[in-house]
Structure 1
Amino acid sequence: MTGLRALVMPKMGLSMTEGMVARWHKAPGETVAAGEEIADIETSKITATYESPAAGTLRRQVLAPGVMVPVGALIGVIDDGTADDAAIDAFIAAQQAAFVPAAEAASAPAAMRVETEIGPIQALEAGPEDAPPLLLIHGFGGDLGNWMFLQPLLAARFRTIAIDLPGHGGSTKTLAGANIAELARAVAALARARGLGHVHLVGHSLGGAVALMLAPESLSLTLISPVGFGPEINMDYVSGFIAARRARDMQAVLGMLFADPTLIGREMVDAVLRYKRLDGVAAALEAIAAANFANGRQNTSLRESLAAVRVPVLVAWGEADRIIPAAHADALPASVQVARFPETGHMAHMERAADLAQRIIAMAAS
């Protein structure tokens, strides 16, 4: 059975305990390359692609679409071409007999509220405390849950800290200021409170601009579809996010973030609507939008700042981004690495988490 490889339900988020195959991309008997998309995995929040951990031939689809199973459960078998059906049957039986679901209580770290001089900031830490620190900064309307796929991949190499910006998630809704510089001040306050020193920074959209503001305190920068590289922005998303009150409306708004809007689950929609009902959220979102996207344009230009950055910089963009044009990644300084992802929208860290994680780890190692 040495040529057989188990495909198991992947853990695609720190809090994920179960999932199901929404669709197989490969049929039994088809060859698959390592890293090739082999199935769509659906969680309660979102659907994401599962990349094959090995090359070979898909011999069995053990799990039929639509059946929910625990993380780690066998879903398929890949073969290098040497096993017969009897060997595969025995391999499946052995895998299923040996499988024990992980205890839910130990499956995910809990978010914490960190007191800082600008107010409480919610953060979620994962990874070894003695590893290099890496901060994850979400975009407008997001929260630390946006890193549900990327953070576990990075936590194997870094002490990762995903935060909620002021006005978002579980952080303070009182804003001393709503522009990028003030948001960066809040991130710096969180870093001091946690004793982080210089950190690797990963920022998405508005969070990308915040990360770039903090470049002097960084070890490396990863900017995902960042604000600040051009004037255009899709205000239908910004204003629609602020205005949406019903699930159907929010589903349509959140759908703009992805190349495939059907990836969004009802739980994600409901979670965003619950957040928007919190006291102070509406005013905070309106203030942030007014400070950074007045007159339907990006008000901050940070493109020139890249030339002065003295640490490795990776700019990642989905070619199907409907919020900020992927053309904003053109003509950047030669020192900046640029990764463009086809068939990917504004959320490359959710749609292409594995590829992006590999690039971040390689850049940080440099």
Structure 2
Amino acid sequence: MAHTGITPIVMPKWGLEMREGTIAGWLVEEGMRIEVGQPIVDVETDKISNAVEAPDPGLLRRKVAKDGETLPVKALLGVLAEPEVSDADIDAYIASYVVPAAAEGEDEQPAFAWVEVGGIRVRHARRGPEAGTPVLFIHGFGGDLGNWLFNLDAIAETLPVIALDLPGHGQSDPKLPGTTLTDLAGFVARFLDAIGVPRAHVVGHSMGGAIAARLALEAPQRVASLMLVNSAGLGGEINTDYIEGFVTAASRRELKPVIEHLFADPSLVTRQLLDDLLKYKRLDGVTELLRALSASLFAGGRQAEQPALELEGSGVPVAVVWGEADRVIPASHAHHAPPGAKVTVLPGAGHMTMMEKASDFNALLRGHLAEC
């Protein structure tokens, strides 16, 4: 039975592995008029917390999900409807709501794929349509493709997206192709060759931004555009206490204050996030690998290479996004961007801008891609 005039608010799917979320608290009350994009309910996942935003404008007529309740992806959280829609119609809609079968069907597409590049097995993910220039997401030091969990699906609505675990990170083999940005950028180019992608828009976070900039300098024909997110490679300063702390931390107690450096809101650092990082760091060879990488790129508390300062004249369109409260790489580096770059510094975000300000970041990235 169709119920016209009723808009469901459903549990989102953040990231490639999310299956359920827990309601941490409603941010609005029944009877309030909601605007598009307004945060309406906080949801905790096993990775991180985030706010569900209103998909459409309307009047919040009913909260269906209760605080503390754990629900599957696409479960009904609430209902938007104008006053002329009767309570009886809303009751009927809620009673008849079934979690869409598509939520199960999505599992038929593997979340991840693997490809071997120069003897290194690389985990990656591909989503979105087949047509269009793909958008490649490159994470930073100690990260993995899960750092983009709030961004991939949003961009995949219109363009193909690709995210990889860099060598020695995530679930890729704990080996490095070398420890310089040139080594890593060359590896990314060979990865694109291996998966049959001649050219991509490249989005790089932190160390991944410096790798992306080096790739644009050495193979500009392969880079349709660049977005640098809290990027290395735009100045010398970097928080060496964070880098060293991440490399050496061996317990949850040691790692927690280090990871809190990444966020403007340290409460976003969950027990599961720490456990996942510790599991990664305990893999054979990972600590030595991270130490070698940090010694090459960040020795003495300085960035050894600053390729993003050389982008002027490359012909590659550049956008720069930063979190104002970044405690790893100073937000002032955003203003070292090449002439013509579009620069945005977002308040209320730290080093992980694409997670803490996902909606704003996704809108900026969509706008950047539309102009390229």
The Cα shift of 1:136 comes to 1.0
Identical aligned residues as a percent:
44
Write out aligned runs for 1:172-183 (5 A).
172-183=173-184
Map of 1:119 onto structure 2: 120
| Aligned with residue 224 of structure 1, among 202, 217, 229 | 229
| Aligned with residue 300 of structure 1, among 305, 325, 329 | 305
Residues 210, 308 of structure 2: 8 Å contact kept: no
1:211 match: secondary structure: helix
| Aligned with residue 66 of structure 1, among 47, 65, 68 | 68
Amino acid at match of 2:168: G
Map of 1:158 onto structure 2: 159
Change beyond 3 A, Cα 1:340–1:115: same
Q: State how far apart, in whole Å, the 2-side matches of 1:169 and 1:350 are.
A: 17
The Cα shift of 1:303 comes to 4.2
Amino acid at match of 1:37: P
2:289 match: secondary structure: helix
Map of 2:136 onto structure 1: 135
Residues 14, 109 of structure 1: 8 Å contact kept: no
Q: State how far apart, in whole Å, the 1-side matches of 2:176 and 2:72 are.
A: 41
| Aligned with residue 25 of structure 2, among 23, 26, 30 | 23
Write out aligned runs for 1:251-270 (5 A).
251-270=256-275
1:230-262 CA distance string (max 9 Å, x none): 222122211111111112222222222112121
Residues 17, 107 of structure 1: 8 Å contact kept: no
TM-score by length of structure 2 reads 0.92
Q: State how far apart, in whole Å, the 1-side matches of 2:40 and 2:350 are.
A: 20
Map of 2:57 onto structure 1: 55
1:134-175 CA distance string (max 9 Å, x none): 211100000111112211222222222211112212223333
Amino acid at match of 2:317: P
Structure 1: gaps of 5 or more residues: none
The Cα shift of 1:111 comes to 2.3
Q: Please, which moves more after superposition, 33-42 or 164-173?
A: 164-173
Write out aligned runs for 1:1-366 (5 A).
2-96=4-98, 102-103=103-104, 106=107, 109-117=110-118, 119-215=120-216, 216=220, 217-330=222-335, 332-366=337-371
Amino acid at match of 1:281: V
1:275-314 CA distance string (max 9 Å, x none): 1111111111001111111111122223432312313211
Residues 137, 163 of structure 2: 8 Å contact kept: yes
Q: State how far apart, in whole Å, the 2-side matches of 1:44 and 1:248 are.
A: 19
TM-score by length of structure 1 reads 0.93
Structure 2: gaps of 5 or more residues: none
Q: State how far apart, in whole Å, the 2-side matches of 1:56 and 1:111 are.
A: 37
Residues 55, 80 of structure 1: 8 Å contact kept: no
The Cα shift of 1:95 comes to 2.5
The number of residue pairs the alignment matches comes to 365
Q: State how far apart, in whole Å, the 1-side matches of 2:287 and 2:19 are.
A: 32
Q: Please, which moves more after superposition, 22-31 or 83-92?
A: 83-92
Q: Please, which moves more after superposition, 216-225 or 247-256?
A: 247-256
The Cα shift of 1:108 comes to 5.6
Amino acid at match of 1:192: D
1:310-359 CA distance string (max 9 Å, x none): 13211111112111111111253441111222211111222222332232
Q: State how far apart, in whole Å, the 2-side matches of 1:55 and 1:232 are.
A: 44
Q: State how far apart, in whole Å, the 1-side matches of 2:92 and 2:173 are.
A: 55
The Cα shift of 1:224 comes to 0.5
Q: State how far apart, in whole Å, the 2-side matches of 1:78 and 1:339 are.
A: 33
